[in-house]
Amino acid sequence: MKLVKAKTVDCVMTITLDDDERRNALSLQLLRELRDAIDEAESNKEVRVIVLTNRGSTFCAGANLAERSKPDDGKGAKDTVEMSEVFQRIRLSPKPFVGRVAGHCVAGGVGLAAVMDISVAIDSAKFGFTEVRIGVAPAIISVVCLPKMRRADAQSAFLRGDRFSAKEAARMGLINKSVAPEEIDGEIDAVVNDLLAGEPHALAVAKQLTNSRTSMSEEEAFAWTTQLSADLFRRDEAREGMTAFLEKRPAPWVRKVLRDK
């Protein structure tokens, strides 16, 4: 049975974690199916935005402990490699990923929510870096979580292993916003429509800028971004976008999500 479902409507792909029985734990099967869905989104030129969500009361419970507690079967090492690859593919993708976190989110699940470009959670969802309570640490997910957090928040959350609210997760910077369950679809639609108003290559460059981790000096960074900006303004899409703005009409790439009622 498939644990990850993918559906594309117009130019938006929705990927759903669908292993409610195991609280969408990051088993080897789920990770591989998630990677395949991401590959499908990447290869489909019509897909401009990817929404990741869940079925059931848990967005993602982190590692599949039933698999990871068996050191001799070799799945543990494969799980960590697959998780790293999934996170890197999301980070390096030129397409924006939106997290619709409709349930609890702990351990590796927090990393999955945090690696999204934009994440919105229901306010009843609980978050937590619970790894230390089973004798491990939030190693891989620290790569995507720490850049978004204050050091004091990270130290407290990583060391205590306690659970906290979606509102607190938003304050920490792990997600962007928490809303009432009945408001999440409207909030996600608003985010997606904003993204569909952006020109795809411009969005890819904006994502590259926000995710860039470089050792450039300030002088080097200004030199690089000055050239980058000049290149962007020379593109036909930029000229068309500026003309559309001046003429008070939508640019040709603008799309809008209309949710079925």
Q: Is the pLDDT of residue 61 over 50?
A: yes
**Local confidence band at 261 (pLDDT 50, 70, 90 cut-offs):** very low
Q: Is the pLDDT of residue 171 over 90?
A: yes
**Local confidence band at 217 (pLDDT 50, 70, 90 cut-offs):** confident
Averaged pLDDT, 231-250: 96
d(CA 20, CA 197): 34
Average the pLDDT over each of 7-16, 70-79, 152-161, 209-218 and give the range with the smallest value.
70-79
Q: Is the pLDDT of residue 221 over 60?
A: yes
Which 8-state DSSP code applies to residue 165? E
The model carries a pTM of 0.93
**Local confidence band at 72 (pLDDT 50, 70, 90 cut-offs):** low
**Local confidence band at 166 (pLDDT 50, 70, 90 cut-offs):** very high
The amino acid that residue 130 corresponds to is: T
What are the pLDDT digits (tens) for 127-155? Answer: 999 999 999 999 999 999 999 999 999 99
Q: Is the pLDDT of residue 75 over 70?
A: no
What CA–CA distances, in Å, run from 195 to 43, 125, 140, 164, 211?
19, 25, 28, 29, 17
d(CA 152, CA 237): 43
**Local confidence band at 53 (pLDDT 50, 70, 90 cut-offs):** very high
Q: What percent of the chain has pLDDT over 90?
A: 85
Average pLDDT of every residue of the chain: 93
d(CA 145, CA 62): 14
Q: Is the pLDDT of residue 172 over 60?
A: yes
pLDDT at 211: 82
d(CA 38, CA 97): 10
| DSSP three-state, residue 235 | coil
pLDDT at 101: 98
pLDDT at 78: 77
| DSSP three-state, residue 216 | coil
Averaged pLDDT, 189-209: 96
**Local confidence band at 76 (pLDDT 50, 70, 90 cut-offs):** low
Q: Is the pLDDT of residue 44 over 70?
A: yes
Task: Give which of 86, 93, 95 is closest to 49, Cα–Cα.
Answer: 95
**Local confidence band at 214 (pLDDT 50, 70, 90 cut-offs):** low
d(CA 68, CA 79): 8
